[in-house]
Amino acid sequence: MVLGAGGVLGSAWMIGAMRAVETETGRDLGSSDLVVGTSAGSVVAALLSLGVGIDVMANSERGLYEVGDPVLDYRDLGASLPPRPRMRMGSPRLLTASALHPRHASPMVTLAAILPQGRGKISAVGDLVSAAMDRQGLDLAEWPAPPILRVVAMNFDTGHRVLFGSPDAPRVTLPEAVMASCAIPGWYAPIESGGQRFVDGGTRSPTSVDLLADAGLEEVLVLAPACSLASDRPRGAVAMVERQVRRAATRRLLREVELVEAAGTRVTVLSPGPEDLAVMGGNLMDLTRRAEVFETSLRTTRAALRASARSRPRPRPARAADAAVATGARATSADRAVAAAATTATSRARTGTRGGAGVEGGAGTGEGAGPPKGRLGLDLAG
């Protein structure tokens, strides 16, 4: 299972969507063999791997807590707008690398290098993960398993993606990895470890699902709150800019999905639909919208899954086209997802893993250790 970037509201949307998947299908997403998290997705992935159930996270979104439960209170991260940054370039070395290798540098990576250095503190996220580890009796140096957990960040000086938790990645604690994955350039200060600086993995990719292309997977479920297969028509300037960025992220996601599918892996994508986007607005860090985003996601994802189940063809062909599902929209394969986003069809996904990936430089990935090839058995069609 792959959990993508998306800020505070992306986290709320993701928890709502995951809760809908569990209630509609009866499946336990916490029993996935592999969970890969980026930015906001890394927080959810870490908590899930530490035994915090989706039901507990859902209750937290509603302000309901049991004694000992982790509290997803993002108010400690500061206001919904970034603090005044330092008046110095974020990463001159990354800008130089982008200039020398323009084909490997996306506009987001170049922008991250140019933006002033952020002053915000992301320690509240690390504290949340640390508290969940303490609850499980884990030392900070340990990584939970199962499921196998991978956390995506970006090296702020080279622009390479790093898959923390894999054998080839730098050794950091889980709280450090999650903080690095969430450190938005220009907003939060980079996380330093071992003489290297790391920032938000969403700078390179909204999900980094392509890192699994050579992992020998059978099926992958992707939740991509920063992407949309069917968009709305916002009027506000901020929301209009956000939708432009979202469209670029969606194109990146679909290219990555094609790479994974080409390797013989079935991929299902869940992403916000028009109704979700209308509630999200243009600032994914707007804490005031969090509860409404969660409830909307819970409702729209449940409706999409039920509609998908009703329209599922029987019998299913042995080698059917892979699915890409948006909340309230469905596409029959990645390369036709945008064009077919207004239609509803079937959706089916399972997760399994064999191996993993390490540090990505350019297009390459490293091979890591993992369990035998298997399936979780997640049937989104019910």
- Rg (C-alpha) for the chain, rounded Å, is 19
Could you say which of 33, 157, 200, 322 is catalytic? 200
Residue 309 has a CB neighbour count (10 Å cut-off) of: 17
DSSP one-letter string for 195-210: TEEEEEGGGT-SS-GG
How far is 55 from 255, CA to CA, in rounded Å? 33
The yes-or-no answer on residue 39 being catalytic is yes
Could you say which of 11, 39, 205, 231 is catalytic? 39
Amino acid at 23: T
Of 45, 10, 257, 9, nearest to 151 by C-alpha is 45
The yes-or-no answer on residue 200 being catalytic is yes
- Is the separation of the CB atoms in 5 and 207 below 8 Å? yes
How far is 187 from 118, CA to CA, in rounded Å? 4
DSSP one-letter string for 4-17: ---HHHHHHHHHHH
Tokens in use for 300? Answer: 């729209």
- Is the separation of the CB atoms in 6 and 325 below 8 Å? no
Phi, psi for 331 (deg, rounded to 5):
-125, 145
Active-site residues, by number, are 39, 200
